[in-house]
A and B are shown apart, each in its own frame.
Chain A
Amino acid sequence: MHRFRFVLTRPLQLIPVLFGISVITFVLIRSIPGDPARVLLGTKATPDAIARIRAQFGLDEPLWTQYGLFLQNLAHGEMGRSILYKVPVLRLIAERIEPTLLLVFGAVLLSLLIAVPFAAIAARRRGRLADHAIRIVSTTGLGLPPFWLGIMLIILFSVTLGLFPVAGYGDDWADRLHHLVLPWLTIALALSAVLTRTLRAAMIAELRSDQATAARARGLPEGMVFWRHVVPNAIVPTINLLAVNIGWLIGGTVIIENVFSIPGMGQLLVRGIFTRDYMVVQGVAMAFAVASVTVNFLADILTVAIDPRVKL
């Protein structure tokens, strides 16, 4: 279990990063011109509410005291209230987290289902027609704007074929999944372009590895060598790639939620910007940053668990 010691030590190294995230969000919100109390409460705030927020965030104190209070409030799970929705930001985020999580996980799963077979075909037929075709398609896929891809899928599958709803989020589970098919497909198509390229390269390297040669020498058929010995080893760099791309994935989710009007955290963020609901913007930005740090940490654990050679 020596290899897993980092599970205990790494969170300690993450503390400065989390700290930094709080500093950046704090600085961002405080750099909005104007009286911070009015900025945070909106123009229609009552004098009473202004006095309350002044005390809570110490807005008359020096900046570093304000930051201390900001941290203290954060530690108590207090991220302020939304001007628009009149509820605590934390509750808003909690309500919006489900569609976003569903969107991200479904899209990752679907993109693996697309990328693994295509990368396998390309790697095993390297330099041949299928390989070239897959490379061209995946390079093109890298440049497809996700918001546009989403709309094209709506035109094709919703408007023309009538298979899926145009936008929105369902009431019961079956309806929700039905609504999520096109958003999943949109993100998955873009993500699988990245994944296919990396997986292909990793598979080609593994096909030439000693252990693949050894497996062939034992007389295993090439198919068995590939699926039992090459693919599992090519998965490890893919996990890391997914973790590195979590920021991109979150960004994609923000855009796609707005294309399909899915009531998730991304939609909350963009609406918060339009309505100058800064507490919401701050809360969602911080939540997304913490999520991406966490995902990278989990990916490290997963990598060590899968590959006994990796030491962190």
Chain B
Amino acid sequence: MSAVAGTTAVRPRLKLRLPRVPGALWWGAGIVGFFVLVALLAPVIAPYDPIAQDTANALLPPGPGHWLGTDNFGRDVLSRLIWGTRIDLMMGVFGVLFPFIVGTAIGCVSGYFGGWVDVVVMRIVDIVIAFPFLVLMLAIIAILGPGLGSFFIAMALVGWVSYARLVRAQVLVLKASDFVTAARSLGYGHLRIMARHILPNAMVSSIVFSMSDVVLTMLLGASISYLGLGVQPPTAEWGVMVAESQNFIIRAWWIAAFPGVALAVIALGFSLLGDGLGEWLGVKE
């Protein structure tokens, strides 16, 4: 009987008696949703072409016509900010998605099978973690050459370790649980047990973690672009905008100021989303 009870317990796992949705989750979802909308509607809502130069109107302060002013090439800061939302959101989301997939797969296999596979994987994790994240990213980008593609590859090569660790720890606990024993006694294969029974439960905490990871990844992408090693000018990206503004800070504060504000607000959105989601699903940090 216990085996049957165990398997039925698998299905309603997400129908857990969830507490009231915390306010942080609503606020976070609202902020993030707003930026997603801005990114999607960029061609419609941006008043100007983000890379069209208009030197006659260079370095105009915020005012009617150009709400957030113009930069040294006369490009509209607001339009660049709106188009930049696409790139920065993409860096955050895909920069987390690839490591998430790679790390989850590796962590799951490592924890489930154990033995020498686990030993080898965990040693590799230790070594990658020993490197300061940005330094290893920069070293990889040094080889691949600057660019958005290099950023994503470097993220996948370096970022998977945190997910592998998180998922492995969960899998170690789950594989000893009754419902997995039940699934095994029903004669299910390893793949089915991992994919259908263990992973859905093991992924909750890494999904919550991925929200705060999006913040870090977006900041990282913008930082690397600021250093000149990520997204390349004239593409409108917030880090690039700040880097280009630096020679003009004495005369034009607005070029530098607004991209950072946008980053901070969207980061706050994802932080709230992560915190709220964690509270809601009962995941401890």
Which A residues have a C-beta under 8 Å from some C-beta of B?
Answer: 16-17, 20-21, 23-25, 28-29, 31-32, 139-140, 142-149, 151-152, 154-155, 159, 246-248, 250-251, 254-255, 258-259, 269-270, 272-274, 276, 278, 281-282, 284-285, 288-289, 292-293
Contact = CB atoms under 8 A, between A and B. Distances in A.
Contacts of A250: 132, 134-135
A247 B132 CA distance: 4
Contact of A155 (B129, B228, B253, B275): B253
Interface centre among A25, A269, A276, by most B CB within 10 Å?
Answer: A269
Interface centre among A142, A248, A274 (most CB of B within 10 A): A142
Contacts of B271: 139, 142-143
Interface of B: 123-124, 126-136, 138-143, 215, 219, 222-223, 226-229, 239, 242-243, 245-246, 249-250, 253, 256-257, 259-260, 263-268, 270-272, 275
A284 B138 CA distance: 11
B227 A255 contact: yes
Contacts of B126: 16-17, 20
Nearest to A252: B134
A146 to B, nearest CB: 7
A247 B131 contact: yes
A145 B222 contact: yes
A285 B136 contact: yes
Contact of A147 (B127, B135, B139, B223): B223
Given A142-B271, A143-B267, A148-B242, A21 B127 contact: yes
A148 B139 contact: no
A146 B215 contact: no
A246 B219 contact: no
15 contacts: A21-B131, A23-B127, A24-B128, A139-B271, A143-B266, A145-B260, A147-B222, A151-B245, A246-B132, A250-B134, A251-B223, A255-B226, A259-B246, A269-B138, A289-B136
A148 B134 CA distance: 17
A254 B229 CA distance: 13
A151 B260 CA distance: 10
Contacts of B129: 247
Label chain B's interface by main secondary structure. helix
Nearest to B241: A148
Given A152-B257, A247-B131, A285-B139, A139 B263 contact: no
Contact of A24 (B127, B142, B266): B127
B142 A273 contact: yes
Contacts of B222: 145, 147
Nearest to B131: A289
B141 A273 contact: yes
| Majority secondary structure of chain A interface residues (helix, strand, loop or mixed) | helix
A297 B261 CA distance: 37
Contacts of B228: 274
A304 B152 CA distance: 40
B57 to A, nearest CB: 22
Nearest to B137: A251
A214 to B, nearest CB: 27
Nearest to A33: B143
B131 A292 contact: yes
Contacts of A272: 142
Contacts of A152: 256-257, 260
A292 B126 CA distance: 12
With most chain B CB atoms within 10 A of its CB, the pick from A152, A248, A272, A278 is A152
A60 to B, nearest CB: 22
A104 to B, nearest CB: 11
Contacts of A159: 249-250
B71 to A, nearest CB: 14
A254 B245 CA distance: 20
A148 B243 CA distance: 9
B256 A25 contact: no
Nearest to A25: B139
B256 A20 contact: no
A248 B131 CA distance: 10
A29 B239 CA distance: 27
A144 B132 contact: no
Given A20-B130, A152-B260, A142 B267 contact: yes
Contacts of B138: 254, 269-270, 273, 281, 285
A246 B228 CA distance: 24
A16 B120 CA distance: 11
B123 to A, nearest CB: 6
Contacts of B215: 142-143
Interface centre among A23, A148, A293 (most CB of B within 10 A): A148
Given A247-B133, A255-B134, 12 more contacts: A29-B143, A32-B143, A143-B263, A144-B260, A144-B263, A151-B249, A154-B249, A247-B131, A254-B134, A255-B223, A269-B135, A285-B136
